[in-house]
Amino acid sequence: MLEARLPKAILLDMDDTIISYDHGVDTDQCWRDACGHLSEQMDIEHVIAAIKARAKWHWSDPERHRIGRMDLRKARSEIIAAALEQFELTNSANTDQIASTYGELRDKAIQPFIGAIETVQRLKAMGIKLALLTNGNTEPQWNKINKFGLAPLFDIILVEGEFGIGKPDARIYHHAIQQLGAAAEDTWMVGDNFEWEIAAPQRLGIKGIWIDHKKVGVPVNSETQPYRIIHTLSELLEL
């Protein structure tokens, strides 16, 4: 592999890039603990399977995803209610309790990936301009940013909820590189979401560095090839 030319600016994703969110969190155990009070009425594993199937359907549509991530508590409640309906367990108490408990357990489980924050610190020390681009509602995203002390590491932070648009809208990438004073061809976008952090920015001339956590490879029939593929953020320094 040829050595990558040092960029003038790097745009970084947060969830599942710097900190764990889906990858690296035992979400199944979070669901088991949240649904534990149903054990006398139903096989919890069947309930969890139904919730996960409904969640997969819900988040598979880009527009449902956009609306849902702006109010995760509401989206989770809707997913849980739809899943419990097939077991005739639907009531507001069940739905609210599971959604609330799951959210609390998952928030506690989120941690930075090993070496991720140190990697960002190294990039900053190298004089590279850095932007954090994260989708989701303002309060929960800033809670994570503040919890892990990320704000001082970045020249700009763009949170979908307060900026008004998020990835993969071209305007957020354009705004970020404009604020950093960099050209698209001198900028990298780094993240785990193939469409948001690779395909969309590369259509604008930004180089996409894909974090392929599960080593699944480029999606079949994809017309996009990442500039580089890594498996953890810390590998970025090897480039």
Whether residue 2 has pLDDT greater than 70: no
Percent of the residues in the chain that have a pLDDT greater than 70, as a whole number? 97
Average pLDDT over residues 106-130: 96
| Amino acid 3: pLDDT | 55
How far, in whole angstroms, is CA 214 from its chain's centroid? 15
At 89, the pLDDT band (50, 70, 90 cuts) reads: confident
| Amino acid 156: pLDDT | 98
The CA distance from 171 to 179, in Å, is 12
Over residues 96-114, the pLDDT tens digits come to 889 999 999 999 999 999 9
| Amino acid 86: pLDDT | 86
Whether residue 1 has pLDDT greater than 50: no
Over residues 171-227, the pLDDT tens digits come to 999 999 999 999 999 999 999 999 999 999 999 999 999 999 988 888 888 889 999
Average pLDDT over residues 156-163: 97
Whether residue 92 has pLDDT greater than 80: no
Tokens of 51: 């919730």
Residues listed for the chain: 239
Tokens of 63: 């527009």
Average pLDDT over residues 17-36: 92
**pTM, two decimal places:** 0.90
